[in-house]
Amino acid sequence: MRVTPHAVVAAAGLALLTAVPLSGCTSGSEAASAAPVVTSPTAPVLQPGKPGQPNASLTGTAAAPTPTSAPDPDDVRFLQDMVVHHAQAIVMVDLARGQLTDPQVKALASRIADEQEPEIAYMAKLLRERGQRVPPQAENPRFGVRDHSAHGSMPGMATPQQLDQLAAARGVQANRMWLTLMTAHHRGALAMVLDQQRNGRDDLVTQLGDEVHVTQLAQINHMKQMLDRLA
C-alpha cells in the first residue's frame, strides 16, 4: 500500500493526542506535580581567575547568580585615583604639545590624550553607576594640578616643579623630558593596575585595568626606543 504524506501527518497527530493528556482533564494536583522545579546548577561552572590566579570550579548555590553587592572599596579607589592619574597625563600632553619637535613623540602624545580622555569618561560613568564620588578632574583635568599633596601618594605622578620644567623645556630637551616623565607616569599606572587585580572584585574594573596595562606597557617600550634614539 502506498503511504501518502498526508497520511503520515495524520498518524503523527493522532499519536500526539493520545500521548499528551488534555489540559481540561488534568486535576489541580497533577498540574502542580508537573510544574518544573527550579534548582541550583548541578553542573560545575568555571569561574575565570584574575591574572596570575587559577580558575575556580563552582557547583551548587555557589554557581548560581547572586545579587549585586556593595562596590568594593579597592575598585572604587582604583577608579577615582586613575581618573586623577589620567588627568595629569592629559595635562602633560597639553603643556608640551607646542614644545615637542620630534614627529614620533608628538604623535604619541596626541594618541595618549585621545585614548585617556574616553577612559576618564568611562571611569566616571562606572563611579556614577555605583553611587560613588567622581573626582572633579573628570570634567577639568587641570583641577588641583599644583596640589601635589592631594595625589602625591599615587605612583608615577609628576610634581608641580617637574611640570614647570616640562612647560619651560624646548627642542630635544622637551622631547626627552616629556618621554621620561610619561614613562614614569605609565609605570605608576601599571602599579595601580596590579594593586586592583590583587584586591578588587569588580569584573568591569578589572577588564579596564587589563586594557590599561596592555596599552601602557606597549607605550613604555615605544618610549624607551625613542629615548634611545634621542640620546
| pLDDT per residue as tens digits for the range 10-59 | 444 434 334 444 444 444 444 444 444 444 445 555 554 444 456 666 56
| Predicted pLDDT at 35 | 46
20-29, 110-119, 168-177: range with lowest mean pLDDT: 20-29
Share of the chain above pLDDT 70, in %: 67
- What percentage of the chain's residues is helix, strand, coil (to nearest 5)? 65, 5, 30
Any idea what the CATH number is for the domain that residue 175 is in? 1.20.1260.10
Torsion of CA 187, 190, 196, 202, to 10 degrees: 140
SS3 57: strand
Within a domain: 31: no
For residue 58, give the H/E element and its range: strand 56-58
Within a domain: 174: yes
> How far is it, in rounded angstroms, from Cα 87 to Cα 92?
9
Residue 118 falls in which region: left (phi positive, over 0), alpha (psi -120 to 50) or beta: alpha
Do 188 and 156 contact (CB within 8 A), yes or no?
A: yes
Within a domain: 205: yes
Number of compact structural domains in the chain: 1
pTM: 0.70
Q: Is the pLDDT of residue 162 over 80?
A: yes
Within a domain: 51: no
Within a domain: 193: yes
Domain housing 176: 73-133+162-230
Within a domain: 81: yes
Within a domain: 206: yes
Between these two residues, 42 and 206, which has the higher pLDDT value? 206
Within a domain: 172: yes
Residue 177, all three cell numbers: 623630558
> How far is it, in rounded angstroms, from Cα 206 to Cα 193?
8
